Amino acid sequence: QDLANSHGFDMVGFTSADPFENSKDFIVQRVDEGLLSGLSWFTKERVERGSNPKNILKDAKSIISLGFSYYTTKPKQNTDTINGKIAMYAWGDDYHRIFERKIKDFIADLKQLTSEETNTYWYTDTGPMSDRAVAQRAGVGWFGKNTNILTDKGSWVVLAQIITNLDLEESPVSKKHCGTCTMCIDACPTNAIIGPGILDNNKCISYLTIENKGPIPMELRSKMGNWIFGCDICQDVCPVNRKQALGNAYNDFSQKDSERVSPDLISLLKISEDSFRKRFAKSPVLRAKVDGMKRNVCVALGNIKNPSTVEPLSEALIKESVLVRGHAAWALGQIKTDSAIKSLASRKKLEKDPWVLEEIELALNSENG
Ligand code: SF4
Ligand code: SF4
């Protein structure tokens, strides 16, 4: 505990290396129900493997759960531009890099304090283990109805775990729970939280804007507001997050550049792949890829409905990839000024891709405007 504190982790807890039977059954059921169907790598085999720590480290005896609060303050936003929103965890550098550095230092000191015989294997959320199930059993926090781990420092946390052959005393499991609160369920714009602690990933804005590489389902687009990478709504409304303090790794997560927090949508719509990589260097936002981001920008612009965006959207309808052209057509159909209709109609004559043509047709026939 002291060692983890001295390395600046905001949360630390310990649990045994016993299998996570309950969480395995829960996740397998979600996979069976198709609630994680967009994540092709999220298979039952992966869940099975990740549910037993001894599958990962043969002589595993304990797991150390570690967390950082990424809560940070917003830089001043440019009010002259039309802006999108990025989820808070992605404002700064990719937390996997931050964790990697800190965990490696922690493990080196742990080995020095114990013995060279100490075996360890660590994961952030990229491995097959459920970092949240580990955190819950290690007393770091409890499962909120929004599926996040709620800790004494709120739910703005990133988690990692170290499996080890050290025999460590287990931390008590938190007795706290959400009680009768349903604020996150009520606030979710896409109704992605289909029951307490049950998320339909296919409807969640986080999944739709990041992992999803194809079109965004039409019926969800108008519910996404101006979120262009992730979504913080179910955490923003959570009363557990009302009192917030900055975490120890605040400097790693903080961001002074408002373009990495609430970017100007028009410049993002026009950005080249090279500039996108440069602008979001080291940021988790790169995961969306430039075309995915432009798709998200089109959806946000379709929701903002500012007539001044017709021109750049019309340009995107001609110049961009199939994915972006289809969503640009949708956005123009939402704005539906005379010039938006004109752009759609003239593109209809030239467009060759059948899906984009379908989007253009639907946009022209929509009841907006
Ligand atoms: Fe709903 Fe947004 Fe929470 Fe996803 S992240 S469950 S879309 S409120
Ligand atoms: Fe639990 Fe309420 Fe927070 Fe949802 S908003 S996670 S129900 S405390």
Tell me the mean pLDDT in the region 63-69: 93
pLDDT digits (tens, 9 = 90+) for 268-299: 999 999 999 999 998 999 999 999 999 999 99
pLDDT digits (tens, 9 = 90+) for 225-238: 999 999 999 999 99
CB 199 within 8 A of CB 39: no
3-state secondary structure of 352: coil
- Catalytic residue flag (residue 32): no
Please report which ligand is nearest the Cα atom of 242.
Answer: 2
Instruction: Check: pTM over 0.75? Answer yes or no.
Output: yes
- Nearest alpha-carbon partner for 200 in 128, 146, 135, 159: 146
pLDDT digits (tens, 9 = 90+) for 319-354: 999 999 999 999 999 999 999 999 999 999 999 999
The pLDDT score that the predictor gives to residue 369 is 58
CB 47 within 8 A of CB 27: yes
Please report which ligand is nearest the Cα atom of 85.
Answer: 1
Contacts 24+ apart (CB under 8 A), 354-359: 355/215, 355/322, 355/326, 356/322, 356/325, 356/326, 356/329, 359/325, 359/326, 359/327, 359/329, 359/330
3-state secondary structure of 341: helix
**Which residue is catalytic, options 109, 125, 291, 353?**
125
For atom 2 of ligand 1, the residue with the nearest CA is 231
Whole-number Å distance, alpha carbon 49 to ligand 1 midpoint, is: 28
Pocket test for ligand 1, best of 204, 227, 232, 237 (most atoms within 8 A of CB): 204
For atom 4 of ligand 2, the residue with the nearest CA is 184
| Sole residue written with tokens 């995915």 | 292
3-state secondary structure of 177: coil
Residue 250 token pair: 């605040």
pLDDT digits (tens, 9 = 90+) for 84-108: 999 999 998 888 888 888 889 989 8
The pLDDT score that the predictor gives to residue 241 is 92
In the predicted structure, residue 26 carries a pLDDT above the cut 90: no
